[in-house]
């Protein structure tokens, strides 16, 4: 589904938006590039969007959201129970 760039940026930065933030991930660091996922609700359906940034805390981050088109396609997701096995 397509969402307005402005609404998604506001969601990511904690500003007012018609989208409802459900879950916010942690920044996953890959050197000079990092990203984080956001799960949000719209019309009783759930969607995911990833926000990326480059740079570091000592210099200004460049967020990829500012280069998105005016409307952004977001993937619909559902929450399902899973079983994880771990070697101990």
- pLDDT at position 78, please? 94
pTM of the model: 0.82
Give the count of domains, the chain: 1
Greatest Cα-to-Cα distance within the chain, rounded to the nearest angstrom: 48
**Phi, psi (deg, nearest 5) at residue 10:** -60, -40
Assigned token pair, 76:
């619909």
**Phi, psi (deg, nearest 5) at residue 52:** -110, 155
Q: Is residue 85 part of a domain?
A: no
- pLDDT at position 61, please? 81
Q: What separation, in Å, do the N-terminal and C-terminal C-alpha atoms of the chain show?
A: 42
Q: Is residue 88 part of a domain?
A: no
Q: Is residue 86 part of a domain?
A: no
The one-digit pLDDT tens for each residue of the chain (88 residues) are 999 999 999 999 999 999 999 999 998 888 778 999 999 999 999 999 999 998 877 777 888 887 888 999 999 999 999 999 999 8
Cα–Cα distances (Å) from 63 to 35, 38, 44, 47, 68, in that order, read 9, 15, 28, 20, 10
Q: Is residue 73 part of a domain?
A: yes
Q: Is residue 84 part of a domain?
A: no
Owning domain of residue 17: 2-77
- pLDDT at position 42, please? 96
């Amino acid at each position: 589904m397509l969402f307005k760039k402005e609404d998604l940026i506001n969601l990511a930065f904690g500003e007012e938006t018609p989208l409802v933030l459900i879950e916010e991930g942690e920044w996953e660091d890959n050197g000079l590039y990092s990203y984080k996922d956001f799960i949000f609700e719209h019309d009783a359906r759930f969607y995911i969007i990833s926000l990326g940034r480059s740079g570091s805390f000592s210099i200004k981050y460049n967020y990829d959201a500012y280069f998105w088109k005016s409307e952004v396609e977001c993937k619909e997701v559902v929450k399902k129970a899973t079983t994880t096995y771990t070697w101990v």
